[in-house]
Amino acid sequence: MESKRGYGRATPCCFFRLCLTRLHEPRPNHQRLLSRAPGGDLLRYSVRLVDGTSLCSGRLEVKSEQSWSSVCEADFDQQDAEVVCRELSCGAPSVLQGALYGEVEASMWTKEFQCGGHESALLDCGRSDSARSTCSPGKAVGLTCSEPVRLVGGASRCAGTLEVKLGEWRPVDDSDWTMKEAAVACRVLDCGSAVSSGIRNEPSKRSVWRIKPDCVQSGSSLRDCASSSSSRSSSIIELTCSDSVRLVNGTKPCSGRLEVKSEQSWSSVCEADFDQQDAEVVCRELGCGAPSVLQGALYGEVEAPMWTKEFQCGGHESALLDCGRSDSARSTCSPGKAVGLTCSEPVRLVGGASRCAGTLEVKQEEWRPVWDYYWSPKIAAVACTELDCGSAVSSGNREPSDRSVWEIDHDCVESGSTLRDCVSSGSSSSIMELTCSDLLLQPIISVSSTMDGVSEAQQQGFLVRRGSDFTISCSVQPQYPGGSFQLTFTNTAHNYIQPAVNHSADFLFPAADPAHQGSYSCVYSVYVFSHNFSSESRLLSLTVTDPTVHIIRLVVLLVTLLLVVAVVVFILKASRGQKSGPQENIQLDYYNLGVSRAEGEPAEEEGAQGAE
């Protein structure tokens, strides 16, 4: 007979009889009938959540007199929900709403619960007759409790020792734990993205939960995937989550649409309120490499509300919310303008002759070398790709003194995950050495002339006068000794090759002619790490000009100019001649008139005298 609280110690016979009963009864998804007490004994519950996505979510049903009944949400409140979540060993209630988990199939509970919130079981609460004889469709209690997961002993609720509750709180053993499982834990805790996952060694061993990675990666909750271990462990998981920022809908942990948490809700950020320095802070906060892409509309439309502040980071801050902020000039953000951010992966090669050769290291809070017993070409290829260093050329082991390393989960990498997602803490005297193909810098190509006959035009490229000597120079920044340069020319199959002296070579061309016109490039080749490597420069376009043609054109231009000037002068003179004719006649008339008067005056005087 069950106690009032609805659970008690079950005998093997009871358990067997219960299992037989359940075989003939439709089994709801993820219902919680049985759990294990700290000692491993089975417990039976008087409540269950059915049709949910995990053991801590679903439509609430209560058991009385061997039958299950749904509860009308009008007879159930937040304090009742706290008791149910506690009874099921889940976290605090996060959602209490009807119609979340399907229509009512069981009969309706006819009592109204009156819990104070402190009770251990729902049937310990007071009850009164309900005012309802029926419950409207879609009004059965749907309840979501948070997962019984926590981080303790850290600087915040989003950092510390990972613990899961199944009857009692226990830490999680480090066995096969990677960043993929860490990301699930941070999401359950509503703590943004996983930044790092490590191991803390305790002086004494204690009871732990072991979590199956393949179970977590299949979509099940941490609690669903936890099991008790008969052995005790001193190595337990330490986890750090980003707390207030996260990247969502991305293809990798270090890419996605940026969301910021404030007052327990997540908001997207408009790209007009976010710049490169802000991005550097976010990538650092998430434990990723430097930002490589900052662009809106990369990771879906905005679903969360918009952040209403403009960030003003200097680029050196440890967290985005440490940056200064000012009110944004925007009340809304245009579609597709939410910040999409891609940070580079925290992977590097150190101690080699270039950034694409050396000891492979991955960062989770700290940089550590990588070791994997089953190292394969696939893992080497992933590392070179994440480093943007082309393809893998060779890999091997180096054996220094014992030190902390990251162990690679081979199957995790083979599934398409990043190296950072697939490493777990360990120790080894052997670490990986890797050489990638793309390790040469691009050569530099230039042209000069002994007669200063070289000029650079924006469209035509370089111009060289016909008949002048010119030199095409190839050079590369110092990386490796030796090597050679090959000068390729598009207009001929002939290639010119010279050894690299002081990392450069000069190719002299006497008496330039039109046959030298075309595109040139320098290819630098060097033999290192028992392999041949090469790198090609940009194309250089060269045009040969003929000075004679220029002189003839200049003479024609001058002659044309003189003819134009002569014609203009002739027209001007003709115009002046037409205008001056009438003026001269008028002047002559005046002149003649003046002479006549002068000559006529004495005659008139003489006539006058004669009359007298």
Which tens digit of pLDDT belongs to each residue from 115-150? 998 898 998 999 887 666 667 777 888 888 888 899
pLDDT for 475? 95
Residues 132, 33 share a domain: yes
What is the reported pLDDT for 283?
94
105 and 66 part of one domain: yes
- 125/197 same-domain check: no
Flag whether 34 is in a domain: yes
Quick one: which H or E segment has residue 170? strand 168-171
> How many Cβ atoms are within 10 Å of 79's Cβ, its own excluded?
16
* Of 91, 83, 13, 75, residue with least CA distance to 45: 83
Q: Residue 323 corresponds to which tokens in the numbers above? A: 């940056």
Domain presence at residue 604: no
Number of C-alpha atoms within 13 angstroms, CB side, residue 90? 29
Looking at the structure, tell me whether residues 401 and 495 fall in a common domain: no
Q: Where does a domain end: 510, 532, 548?
A: 548
Residue 213 domain boundaries: 149-241
What CATH code is carried by the domain that includes residue 429?
A: 3.10.250.10
CATH label of the domain that carries residue 492: 2.60.40.10
Better pLDDT: 491 or 28: 491
Domain-located, residue 376: yes
In terms of Cα–Cα distance, which of 179, 169, 205, 174 is closest to 91?
Answer: 169
The answer to whether residue 413 sits within a structural domain is yes
Tens-digit pLDDT profile for residues 526-567: 987 777 888 889 899 998 887 666 677 778 888 888 888 888
Residue 541 within any structural domain of the chain:
yes
Whether 286 and 206 map to the same domain: the answer is: no
Does one domain contain both 27 and 137?
A: yes
Of the residues 343, 371, 398, which one is the last residue of a structural domain?
343
- CB contact set of 491 (below 8 Å; sequence gap of 6+): 515, 517, 518
Domain edge (last residue) among 315, 343, 371: 343
Q: Does 407 share its domain with 492?
A: no
User: Do 455 and 531 sit in the same domain of this protein?
Assistant: yes
pLDDT, residue 308, reads 82
Q: Are residues 64 and 112 in the same domain?
A: yes
Going by C-beta distance under 8 Å and a sequence separation of 6 or more, which residues neighbour residue 348?
355, 360, 361, 363, 367, 387
Domain-embedded: residue 503: yes
285 vs 490: which has the higher pLDDT: 285
| Whether 310 contacts 328, CB under 8 Å | yes
Pair 188, 301 in one domain: no
Q: How many domains does one find in the chain?
A: 5
Let me know whether 218 and 190 are in one domain: yes
Lowest mean pLDDT of 22-26, 50-54, 73-77, 522-526, name the range.
Answer: 22-26
Mean pLDDT value of segment 46-66: 85
- 24/505: higher pLDDT: 505
Task: Report yes or no on 432 lying in a domain.
Answer: yes
25 and 140 share a domain?
A: yes
